[in-house]
Chain A
Amino acid sequence: MTQYRTQPRTSATFDPATIAEIQRAADTGIYDIRGWGAKRPLPHFDDLLFLGASMSRYPLEGYRERCGTDVVLGDRHATYPLHLETPVTIAGMSFGALSGRAKEALGRGASEVGTSTTTGDGGMTPEERSQSKHLVYQYLPSRYGMNPDHLRQADAIEVVLGQGAKPGGGGMLLGQKITERVAQMRTLPQGVDQRSASRHPDWTGPDDLTIKIGELREITDWEKPVYVKVGATRTYYDVKLAVHAGADVVVVDGMQGGTAATQEVFIEHVGIPTLAAIPQAVQALQELGVHRKVQLIVSGGIRTGADVAKAMALGADAVAIGTAALVALGDNDPRWQADYEALGTSAGAYDDFQEGKDPAGITTQDPELQQRLDPVEGGRRLANYLRVLTMEAQTIARACGKAHLQHLEPEDLVAITIEAAAMARVPLAGTSWIPGQAAGGSW
């Protein structure tokens, strides 16, 4: 007689990770803090496809016909807008979260391909200034290391209101990473668990921001583009208000966007996916008549040239990468597998950037671990990766018959899920249906 037995089954609601988290919380009494971005599955660029050319459109010749990639950022008010050779920029990541050598490597890689890199919540280091052709200086609520000399040395200024990983939240840097140099740059006692403010200390609301941007322009004699960065939530309204406040460039960071250290609950439960944010931002810019005049930079989960092309087809002028840039430098590299295992994780899953024990030597201030990253080699790897992203995006653009990445348009896209179709506002593949819009209606 066959013995039928029930098989032990884990719950979809109380899955093993959830149970482990309850146990951990009960044990420690403190929420989980980690780096990286949202890890749950979300509607994303993978849910979109391009309609390559055939009979009704004709393509450009793959390797012969020109497909431009350059972009001008911030030409609305600034005397010196940025002119980048590729629309893939490096997002703001703080010295403190990253080692000085990692910042240097980011500057080297970005400069090699003619794009910009960005400071972060910890001020400007000489390493990154000297190695970065185009350096964007972040102006954050904490104002750590905020120095008017650095403002003048910057090529653009980015007023940070929020990050996709934690819209509405401030920064965190745990004591392990507050070394003497980091503490000194931030005017903090060495080794404290640093919390940085979520609101700017001297303005609240869009009307104040208008005045603040005016001040930044006056201080720098109207030379530099001023960006405004927001985490994606009420993106349609936030973009309108940013433009009203005088932004030359709006940066929208979706919930997949990376972070150096944030509560897990914040990363996974606050904000909207990048895909949902882009059409809202573009609609806001179009309604104000400033689409392509106030440039839109999109970030949060950009990994491939296809992602770049899709973001641009939806209306972005450029994109920014954080996590992918760190991976290009060597983050989560399998060659450190034994070290990852010693930390209770594995290459590909490591996200405890806050601990400062990064085996790859990137998200750390440990003097020995830092040596594992060679800034020249790291810079070269990043430049390679940026070139691949650019060439991949060009491959797609040519296939769609576009002589410049900026000529990509929503009309080139379809969605393979109803969710993505509704969020990205492009038709479900094989139909003319955009959920929320009349069937057959035009974009």
Chain B
Amino acid sequence: MDPLTATLSPTRDPKDLSMTDTLELDLAVSTLREVNARLHDPDLGVDDVVVTHPAGRHSVAVGLNRPMTVTVKGHVGYYAAGMNQSADVVVEGNAGVGVAENMMSGSVWVKGSASQSAGATAHGGLLVVEGDAAARCGISMKGVDIVVGGSIGHMSAFMAQAGRLVVRGDASDALGDSIYEARIYVRGAVASLGADCVAKEMRPEHHEELATLLKSAGYEDDDTHAYTRYGSARSLYHFHVDNTSAY
């Protein structure tokens, strides 16, 4: 067996997954509990797993906590790859609510679109959604990097604390409401900004940061000058009598 000990960087092309010693776990045959238990097993023996027939099941490949690659062949329900640590997960389909929620490290790559709360509260790692992401994308994000190929829904990056959110399409209403220190880059139109979220200058370090993020998601040809940066005006950081309407 080829020991795939090298941690796969999030920048690899997800199409390069065909390595030897791939284990197939079939959700048409095994229960979700069995499949997740296998994926958690430190003695699994392989670092490359394909999960077939997910059929929209919830909580597929959640709680992974070592470097491994997991490719899910089809659509998944809620919380796919939730709380991921170190693993690289590819969803070859659409993802339901809360994909990669609270991810700590590693990567989650959705080839289709994602429902609400993609990457919610995630502390680290990289989430790529090639299609669109619905409302509350990056809600309460705490350090994750999220790159969305399409557009995102309303209330995205609500109370976003840290990390970066890149949107190649448009953002719907109330982007970045009550945002803390997360940074948002949007190429298209922003329907409206939430409380305390403002457009900010793109300084050289921001172009550099954005270029790196785009590259990690396979969009290195994008012109970073087409993007606008958004972040916190920091006016709600302290309770103040003149801000009461915003509390």
Contact = CB atoms under 8 A, between A and B. Distances in A.
A135 B58 CA distance: 28
A143 B36 contact: no
A218 B97 contact: no
B77 interface: yes
B62 A215 contact: yes
Nearest to A29: B241
Contacts of A151: 83
Interface in A132-178: 142-143, 146-149, 151, 174-175
A207 B58 CA distance: 12
Interface stretch (B116-124, B185-193, B201-209, B214-222): B116-124
Given A148-B102, A201-B139, A192 B37 contact: no
B59 A214 contact: yes
Q: What interface size band does chain B fall in?
A: 35 or more
Contacts of A347: none
Given A148-B104, A211-B79, A192 B139 contact: no
Interface in B49-64: 58-59, 62-63
Interface in B25-77: 32-33, 36-37, 40, 58-59, 62-63, 65, 77
A257 B121 CA distance: 28
A197 B85 contact: no
Contacts of A28: 241
Interface in A167-205: 174-175, 186-189, 191-193, 195, 197, 201-203
Interface stretch (A98-106, A219-227, A296-304): A219-227
Interface string B122-137: 0100000000000010
B191 to A, nearest CB: 20
A65 interface: no
A3 B110 CA distance: 89
B206 to A, nearest CB: 19
A222 B33 CA distance: 9
A432 B147 CA distance: 67
Main SS class of interface, A? loop
A30 B239 contact: yes
B139 A202 contact: yes
Nearest to B82: A215
Contacts of B123: 146-147, 187
Nearest to B121: A143
Contacts of B143: 187
Contacts of A203: 78, 97-98
Contacts of A147: 104, 123
A215 B59 contact: yes
A83 interface: no
A208 interface: yes
A212 interface: yes
B51 to A, nearest CB: 13
Contact of B63 (A146, A148, A191): A148
A218 B33 contact: yes
Contacts of A187: 123, 142-143, 161-162
Given A175-B238, A192-B180, A201-B140, A219 B82 contact: yes
B56 to A, nearest CB: 12
Contacts, number: 109
A187 B244 CA distance: 24
B75 to A, nearest CB: 15
B101 interface: yes
Contacts of A212: 78-79
B113 interface: no
A260 to B, nearest CB: 16
Contacts of B116: 202
Contacts of B97: 202-203, 208, 211
A28 B101 CA distance: 40
Contacts of B121: 143, 146, 201-202
Nearest to B243: A30
A138 to B, nearest CB: 14
B178 interface: yes
Given A148-B85, A148-B102, A215-B78, A197 B180 contact: no
B181 interface: yes
Interface string B229-242: 00000000111110
A6 B61 CA distance: 78
Contacts of B142: 143, 187
A170 B100 CA distance: 24
A215 B76 CA distance: 13
Contacts of A30: 239-241, 244
B95 interface: no
B159 interface: yes
Contact of A208 (B62, B78, B102): B78
Contact of A195 (B120, B162, B178): B178
Contacts of A143: 102, 120-121, 140, 142
Interface string B142-168: 110000000000000011011000000
A146 B122 CA distance: 9
Nearest to B140: A201
Contact of B102 (A146, A175, A188, A214): A146
Contacts of A186: 161
Given A143-B121, A148-B63, 6 more contacts: A187-B161, A188-B161, A202-B97, A212-B78, A215-B62, A218-B59
28 contacts: A30-B240, A142-B140, A149-B65, A149-B85, A151-B83, A187-B123, A187-B162, A193-B238, A195-B178, A197-B159, A201-B101, A201-B139, A202-B101, A203-B78, A203-B98, A208-B78, A211-B97, A212-B79, A214-B58, A215-B58, A215-B78, A215-B82, A218-B59, A218-B63, A219-B36, A219-B82, A220-B63, A222-B33
Give 6 nearest A-B pairs by CB, closest first: A219-B63, A29-B241, A202-B98, A143-B121, A202-B117, A148-B83
